[in-house]
Amino acid sequence: MPKKNEPPRKRSTHAEIEKTPEQLRAAYRRKRRFRVIGWSVMSVRAAVALQHWLAHLGAFGAQPPGWIDLAAGYPMAGLLILAGAITVSQK
């Protein structure tokens, strides 16, 4: 607490703090790592979707039953795209 005749201390904001080049490089590497991981997860989702589409065309023999789509296929695709998008958007 400031004394009676002393002016209050100025609080530094996040924007006023200068970052060192090492901190900037570390932040850039972290962001790049999250983007690579996120896009990798989303590309796995694309591979799963391609395999699923080929299975419905009958490329692997008999077609899978429709309940497998509802129980596993659609939820897995949704989770993969959501996890990848969240990872890509990290700072």
What pLDDT shows up at residue 5? 75
User: At 77, is the pLDDT very low, low, confident or very high (cuts 50, 70, 90)?
Assistant: confident
Is pLDDT above 90 for 90?
Answer: no
Q: What is the mean pLDDT of the chain?
A: 83
Q: What's the pLDDT tens digit per position in 20-61?
A: 999 999 999 999 999 999 999 989 888 888 888 888 888 888
For residue 81, give both structure tokens: 């795209």
Buried b (16+ CB within 10 A) or exposed e, 37-52: ebeebbeebeeeeeeb
The pTM of this model reads 0.64
Is pLDDT above 60 for 72?
Answer: yes
Domain range list for the chain: 20-88
